[in-house]
Structure 1
Amino acid sequence: MRRAAIAVAAVIVAAAALFWVLTIPPRLPADAIAAEASGDAGRGARIFWAGGCASCHAAAGARGDDRLRLGGRPLATPFGQFQAPNISPDPDAGIGGWRIADFANAMQRGVDPDGRHLYPAFPYNSYIKMTKGDIADLFAYLRTLPPVATRTPDTALGFPYSIRRGVGLWKLMYLGDESPIVALPAGASAAVVRGRYLVEGPGHCGQCHTPRMLQGLGGLDTARWLGGAANPEGKGRIPNITPAKSGIGAWSAAEIETYLETGFTPDYDSVGGSMVEVQQNLAKLPKADRAAIAAYLKSVPAVG
């Protein structure tokens, strides 16, 4: 009995040690991080709106300049309530004390300055595809915004999701890398290539429009890329935006670009639900960026 107990204890210790090693928070190599203070805030504004940062980090329903007050907001999901943090330049409540390496590791590896995993409600597995220059530009822009002194509460999740270290196992399977999701032909236009970058990277469109594996717990099912998915907030479905009959196949690239600018569909219906804020963000992009997104959406494989 004693030997059996020792053997069981040894297995438990070995399993715990393996879990600890496998879930060590990953960090970016030094050469993948831009130089300190190298970002351009003017360019960063473009990335800010492409990424829709205000949609999660500004107060719900914020309008006008209040959309630039990034004190965070709660995000209700079937797994519990996540808390989008304060990313204003406040030195205490926000990220005013962060360096570029802190920001880059949060954006592209999902690791905070204290070395803790961030939950993948923050779409770092899309941001991993961003260039280090765009990360630096976004960081520079965020530092120009109004400081918000409000401290955000901690994310409140039930067991087992409350075991933050376990996110490391999720990352082993689903963090991904810098490689594009959709392979484009050699002769693809510059607009389509730019659109791919915006959609797959900063725009993180697949996070809502692509179904997930393992009943919503896993990574994106890229075999059905942008083919529609359950609403991550638990109500209804997010539509198919591939060029299929069940998607937006009947829309021209010009109609898609107009929708992103105005919020009106070709049938003169208007944008609704969580897409309202997304469309408002995209309307602030240069026309060339919206046209690039439209060109890419017309080029992805049809699903459904």
Structure 2
Amino acid sequence: MKFLKWAGYGLAGLVGLVVLAAGAAFAASEAMIRWPAAATPAVVVTASGPDAVARGERIARLGGCHDCHGEKLEGRLFHDDKPVVRAWATNLSRALVDQSDADFERAVRRGVAADGRALWIMPSTALSRLTDGEMADLMAYLRTFPPTGQTQPRLQIGPVGRVGVLLGKFHSEPALLKAGAAGLDDLGPRHARGRDLARFCVECHGPSLDGNEMLKAPDLTMAASYEPEDFERLLHTGIGAGNRKLGLMTAVSPARFGVMTPQEVSALHDYLKARAAKRIALAETKGLSKP
């Protein structure tokens, strides 16, 4: 009986240690998730007028604003994986009523919320590449939406997601921006327009277009294998070569890249082909240099 008694005490102690460890891990991850982020003051020149709004709508489509925040910017649950994360997009139609242009600029290009929180699921690593003029046009467009819907819940990170935070697998947007990236290959003036358009591929395919394993988005070197007509169909319909559906690309491509003209599609394709040729040449050079 004494053995069972002491075994019970031991089990209770072990359970207590597990609970304490779990509590400490939760507290540590919560602190990391809620930790405020520094952001320097922004000077934003507000745009206005129908031309600015039209340009801003195009940027919003290419940048995927409506994909997450909804057609009326009312926000929605756009990722629901309870063990990892449940993510609601902010109701921008209501948030923008109380936010200044500088507040909004910090959220979009720097990943910092109006209350100083670091944002965790916000494509600032891609949108940080917007120019001041593009940012002003985007705000002009988004401010045309009247307040609607309800305030959305904040991000909920599950136990698997918290382990990822603690292990440094998941990072806030300011942390990703601070870490920096190689960026998009500069292939000269001839491909400047294509490189400019490739900014809108960064969110899924990574800051250097080398792919994103989590999203199963490939290195865009593969785009060089597409014929021009197949590439245009991919962007405008989301259907890949061989009439294949391509997961996330199929879901988001028509709404985002359907606004691109044939000339823009061609410029982007030419840039990606030139990028692929550069990468292949570098790989061959490294291969030949090996003893």
Q: Which has the larger radius of gyration?
A: 2
Gaps of 5+ in 1: 1-15, 59-66, 211-219, 232-236
Counterpart of 1:259 in structure 2 is 234
Cα distance in 1 for residues equivalent to 2:53 and 2:180? 24
Q: Which amino acid aligns with 1:193?
A: A
Counterpart of 1:275 in structure 2 is 249
Tell me which of 194, 206, 230 is aligned to 2:214. 230
Counterpart of 2:84 in structure 1 is 79
DSSP-derived class of the 1:249 partner: helix
Counterpart of 2:63 in structure 1 is 51
Counterpart of 2:13 in structure 1 is none
**Number of residue pairs aligned between Structure 1 and Structure 2:** 241
Tell me which of 180, 187, 210 is aligned to 1:185. 187
Provide closer, same or farther for how the CA distance between residues 275 and 183 of structure 1 changes in structure 2, counting only shifts above 3 A: closer
Does 2:275 correspond to 1:296? no
Counterpart of 1:209 in structure 2 is 205
Deviation, structure 1 residue 143: 1.4
Cα distance in 2 for residues equivalent to 1:264 and 1:172? 34
Q: Which has the higher helix share?
A: 2
Counterpart of 1:7 in structure 2 is none
Q: Is the 8 A contact 1:25 1:115 kept in 2?
A: yes
Q: Is the 8 A contact 1:37 1:140 kept in 2?
A: yes
Cα distance in 1 for residues equivalent to 2:64 and 2:180? 20
Q: What do the CA deviations read for 1:28-57 (whole angstroms, capped 9, x no partner)?
A: 444xx3223458211101101111111111
Deviation, structure 1 residue 144: 1.6
Cα distance in 1 for residues equivalent to 2:219 and 2:146? 37
Provide closer, same or farther for how the CA distance between residues 228 and 35 of structure 1 changes in structure 2, counting only shifts above 3 A: closer
Deviation, structure 1 residue 173: 5.1
Spell out the pairing of 1:1-304 with structure 2 (5 A cutoff).
25-30=37-42, 33-37=43-47, 40-58=52-70, 67-77=71-81, 79-88=84-93, 90=94, 94-119=95-120, 121-158=121-158, 160=162, 174-176=176-178, 181-186=183-188, 188-189=189-190, 192-200=191-199, 203=200, 205-210=201-206, 222=208, 225-227=209-211, 229-231=213-215, 237-242=216-221, 247-267=222-242, 269-281=243-255, 282-301=257-276, 302=279
Provide closer, same or farther for how the CA distance between residues 146 and 73 of structure 1 changes in structure 2, counting only shifts above 3 A: farther
Q: Is the 8 A contact 1:49 1:285 kept in 2?
A: no
Provide closer, same or farther for how the CA distance between residues 177 and 135 of structure 1 changes in structure 2, counting only shifts above 3 A: farther
DSSP-derived class of the 1:230 partner: coil
DSSP-derived class of the 2:88 partner: strand
Give the 4+ runs in structure 1 shifted more than 6 A. Answer: 177-180
Deviation, structure 1 residue 181: 1.3
Cα distance in 1 for residues equivalent to 2:113 and 2:174? 17
Q: Which amino acid aligns with 1:209?
A: H
Provide closer, same or farther for how the CA distance between residues 122 and 171 of structure 1 changes in structure 2, counting only shifts above 3 A: closer
Q: What do the CA deviations read for 1:234-266 (whole angstroms, capped 9, x no partner)?
A: xxx333421xxxx23321344312321233434
Q: Is the 8 A contact 2:37 2:174 kept in 1?
A: no
